[in-house]
Amino acid sequence: MSVSLQMASRTLQKKRLDLEDPADVEGPKLKRPRLAQLPSPSLTPCLQAPIESPVVEAKNQSICSIGPYVLLEATEGAQCYWAVHRSSEEQYTCKVFPMKRYQELFAPYARLPPHEHIGRIEEIITGEQKVYMVFPKSHGDMHSHVRLSKRLPEAEAAPLFRQMAAAVAHCHSHGVILRDLKLRKFVFADKQRNKLVLENLEDSCVLRGEDDLLTDKHGCPAYVGPEILNSKHSYSGRAADIWSLGVVLYTMLVGRYPFQDAEPAALFSKIRRGTYSIPESLSPKAKCLIRCLLRKNPAERLSASEILLHPWLNSSNMATISPSTGPVDSVSLEQVVPDFEKYKDVDFL
């Protein structure tokens, strides 16, 4: 049955997301591997090829109806489907989760006031074993956009990154840590690809106070901060999100990750050292912002709200940023933003 967001927010308990779900043989599974574990066949978690999945609760690939929606083919991930509203014929994205995760998944939405750059839930439909969260249809994600473009000129990247930073600042100011920030998390809300939204909050955690110290090692290897790899204790969740934003910005402007290697042990060694190079073709202000985010010491990084005040994102300076036409530093093909990479099994920590 359909459930009102307003009614649901009064009954939900706000608690951390559970990374490990028992097997659910009747529907798609949602798992997020920890950094110390890589899923078979040992692909980087954030860069794995899309998982093929049958239509929800349907055999022989038949079309499935949920409430007023018809679920069509699966998109990226085993729990995500295109959906069409029967009456309006509007297209949506439907995410399917085990019913036992309903309260955990909805907790961040109950905490956050609406924001133009954070994806909203159109409707929630619950069944006996599953919950269906309906979101507006997106028009592609930033990871695919950067791969197609190779790299973005600063004039295009700056307004898009500002929207990303605004979404993160809104979450941080209301006690929500995103934890698994990456390019693929941001999707275009319009066909012109001018407006970005944070697609969902399913990997985030809700803080119970001002203390943002976390202990779990959660995230995508290419975007994880050195303190998460080095620390055996707690780390600042907000600062870890900022490091991930730095990786996002670098990748948008350069066309490759600041830290990348075919071997996970070597990749994490590079991240721990925190040493990277910035192409000379970038403007001084862009270089400055990257260095302010990718600082090895978490306490020295800008906060999300401070990012929005940086001169590179100042609208009065946008006209002075000209797209770079010079060559980016020479890199091998494997250093270009990949769709997925094969990693061998190793112990990371």
Per-residue pLDDT, 21: 39
Same domain, 119 and 222: no
pLDDT category, 142, cuts 50, 70, 90? very high
- In a 3-state reduction of DSSP, which class is residue 235? strand
Per-residue pLDDT, 76: 64
User: Is 281 part of any domain?
Assistant: yes
Q: Are 342 and 211 in contact (CB under 8 A)?
A: no
User: Is 342 part of any domain?
Assistant: no
Closest-CA residue to 245 (of 292, 293, 207, 206): 293
User: What tens digit of pLDDT does each residue of 101-127 get?
Assistant: 999 999 999 999 999 999 999 999 998
Rg of the chain over all Cα atoms, to the nearest angstrom: 20
Q: If you average pLDDT over residues 30-39, what whole number do you get?
A: 39
Q: What pTM value is reported for the model? A: 0.74
Contacts of 344 (CB under 8 A, 6+ apart): 42, 263, 264
User: Is 94 part of any domain?
Assistant: yes
Element (H, E) at 72: strand 69-74
Same domain, 148 and 132: no
Same domain, 174 and 57: no
Domain closes at, from 136, 160, 187: 136
Q: 222: domain CATH number?
A: 1.10.510.10
User: What tens digit of pLDDT does each residue of 283-328 get?
Assistant: 999 999 999 999 999 999 999 999 999 999 985 555 444 444 344 3
User: What tens digit of pLDDT does each residue of 265-276 get?
Assistant: 999 999 999 999
Same domain, 87 and 189: no
Unique residue bearing structure tokens 């459930």: 3
Element (H, E) at 187: strand 186-188
Per-residue pLDDT, 318: 56
Element (H, E) at 82: strand 80-85
Half-sphere exposure of 126 (CA within 13 A, CB side): 12
Same domain, 184 and 243: yes
Per-residue pLDDT, 65: 86
Same domain, 106 and 171: no
Burial class, 52, CB count within 10 angstroms (exposed 0-12 / middle 13-18 / buried 19+): exposed
Same domain, 117 and 249: no
User: Is 349 part of any domain?
Assistant: no
Q: Which of 24, 141, 180, 211 is catalytic?
A: 180
Same domain, 181 and 301: yes
Contacts of 25 (CB under 8 A, 6+ apart): none
Same domain, 327 and 306: yes
Domain closes at, from 91, 110, 136: 136
pLDDT category, 74, cuts 50, 70, 90? confident
User: Is 165 part of any domain?
Assistant: yes
Q: Are 94 and 85 in contact (CB under 8 A)?
A: no
Unique residue bearing structure tokens 């507006």: 136
Per-residue pLDDT, 1: 47
User: What tens digit of pLDDT does each residue of 75-105 get?
Assistant: 766 588 899 999 999 999 999 999 999 999 9
Percent of the chain surpassing pLDDT 70: 71
Same domain, 129 and 161: no
> How many angstroms separate the Cα of 341 from the Cα of each of 41, 44, 164, 254, 335?
10, 6, 25, 19, 11
Domain closes at, from 108, 136, 164: 136
**Mean per-residue pLDDT of the chain:** 79
Burial class, 89, CB count within 10 angstroms (exposed 0-12 / middle 13-18 / buried 19+): exposed
Count of structural domains within the chain: 2
Parent domain of 168: 142-335
Give the residues across from 323 on adjacent strands.
Answer: none
180 carries an active-site annotation: yes
- How far is it, in rounded angstroms, from Cα 291 to Cα 286? 9
DSSP secondary structure, 274-323, as one string: T-----TTS-HHHHHHHHHHS-SSGGGSPPHHHHTTSGGG-GGGGGG---
Same domain, 82 and 164: no
> Between 91 and 22, whose confidence is greater?
91
User: Is 244 part of any domain?
Assistant: yes
Per-residue pLDDT, 77: 60
User: Is 24 part of any domain?
Assistant: yes
User: What tens digit of pLDDT does each residue of 242-251 get?
Assistant: 999 999 999 9
Same domain, 181 and 249: yes
Percent of the chain surpassing pLDDT 90: 62
Phi, psi of 177, deg, nearest 5: -105, 130
User: Is 343 part of any domain?
Assistant: no
